[in-house]
Amino acid sequence: MALLAATVATAYLPLGGGNLVLSLGIAVAKAALVAVIFMQLRRPNPLLRLAAAAALVFLTFLFSLIYADVLTRAPSTQPGTVMPRSIADR
């Protein structure tokens, strides 16, 4: 319940860019609690530990592909920088 209250409180704090970092930190803490308690990763058997590690490696790989895609784009094609033709022609 404390993490839920922290999530709600974070939505109302004017931290600017720190708000994202704090929200992601709370989300990581929630995910760790779910993994340890509900997935029983505290003392898992080797197969469950292997499945969790494989999922983490796969997720890291996907995020690295996303990061590489954003880094290799030209500045005019970055998300949020392209304007529709009807607005650009005015």
50 and 15: one domain? no
Full-model pTM: 0.59
Query: In this structure, how many other beta carbons lie within 10 angstroms of the beta carbon of residue 6?
Result: 15
49 and 38: one domain? no
Q: Are 3 and 33 within 8 A, CB to CB?
A: yes
Q: Are 30 and 46 within 8 A, CB to CB?
A: no
**Torsion over CA: 69, 71, 77, 78 (sign):** positive
Mean pLDDT by 10 residues, the chain (90 residues): 91 86 92 86 82 92 92 72 61
Residue 15, in any domain of the structure: yes
- Give the residue numbers spanning the domain of 51: 44-76
* pLDDT for position 54: 95
* pLDDT for position 6: 92
33 and 8: one domain? yes
CB neighbours of 13 closer than 8 A, spacing ≥ 6? 19, 22
Q: How many domains are there within the chain? A: 2
Residue 37, in any domain of the structure: yes
1 and 39: one domain? yes
